[in-house]
Amino acid sequence: MGKEMELLWELQQIEQEEKKLIEVYNVLVKNAELKNLYQIILSEMKEYERLENALKDKREKQMHIEKEIKEIEKKYIENETFLYSGKIRNYKEMEMLSDNLKKLKDVKTEKEEILLRYMEEVYQLENLIKQISNKIRKMQKEYKEIRLKNNEDIDKIKKEIEKLRDRKLALTENIKPELLTIYKKIKLTKTDPVAKVIDFKCSGCNTILSFAKMQEVSQPTLPVYCESCGRLIFAE
């Protein structure tokens, strides 16, 4: 019985180690950092798209206003040419024409101011897009590195867990099924169903054992339970 209790103890150690590894495995699989970074990249990509659209829109507006300015210039030249063509019949006509020229000039100045503003905005958008694009590329690279490293860690843990399971299987083959059943039953309420007897005490609950128990434990023929906590106990 003593030898089997030691195997059971080893089984318990392995199961506790396995539990810890599974916890680590779950954290790695979830990988909050990676998921967080993924979300950040997505939102940056969305922002990039928004800026690209804004740039496209601004460039179209810029082109439109450039065309308008050219048309105004054309009209201005036409009016001016007419003014000096000698075809003017009276003063009123001349006054109207020069009025027109002045108006055209004012509109042109106004449009040129808008054009300048658009050009400035286009320049700023282009810079922003360049920055965000660099940022995204950097984050994507970082994401890939973390993901690869994470996958490596996951693989490593998986292998360790498998190794533990193999050892567990080998161990259980050498323990009587009845003892395993008792172990599993106690495990429903206690994470460590097996306890060592150290210095006359049950190491599970720290209670001093009775003289009769100490005798039972020293030469066990049947499973021995702690009187206080119900764990299986054994002496090394």
Residues that bind Zn ion (CB under 5 A): 202, 204-205, 226, 228-229
Nearest to 80 by CA among 108, 116, 38: 108
Strands 201-202 and 194-198: antiparallel
Query: Would you say 118 or 183 has its CB closer to Zn ion?
Result: 183
Q: Which is nearer to Zn ion, 217 or 226 (CB)?
A: 226
- Closest-CA residue to 228 (of 179, 173, 177, 190): 190
- Least Cα distance to 82 among 97, 99, 69 occurs for 97
Q: Which is nearer to Zn ion, 150 or 228 (CB)?
A: 228
User: What's the min distance (Å) between Cβ of 173 and Zn ion?
Assistant: 28
With beta carbons less than 8 A apart as the criterion, state whether 232 and 223 touch.
Answer: yes
3-class DSSP assignment, residue 85: coil
Phi/psi at 232 (5° precision): -75, 130
Q: Which residues contact 90 (CB under 8 A, 6 or more apart)?
A: none
Tell the smallest beta-carbon distance from residue 5 to Zn ion (Å). Answer: 14
Pairing between β-strand 194-198 and β-strand 232-234 as defined by DSSP bridges: parallel
Nearest distance from C-beta of residue 182 to Zn ion, angstroms? 15
Q: Which residue's CB is nearer to Zn ion, number 8 or number 65? A: 8
Which C-beta is closer to Zn ion: that of 157 or that of 226?
Answer: 226
- Whole-number minimum distance, CB 154 to Zn ion, in Å? 38
Query: What amino acid is encoded at 43 in this protein?
Result: S
Q: How far is the CB of 10 from Zn ion (least distance, A)?
A: 19
DSSP 51-78: HHHHHHHHHHHHHHHHHHHHHHHHHHHH
The smaller minimum CB distance to Zn ion, of residues 119 and 214, is found at 214
Sign of the C-alpha dihedral computed for residues 84, 88, 94 and 96 taken in this order: negative
Closest distance of CB 140 from Zn ion, Å: 56
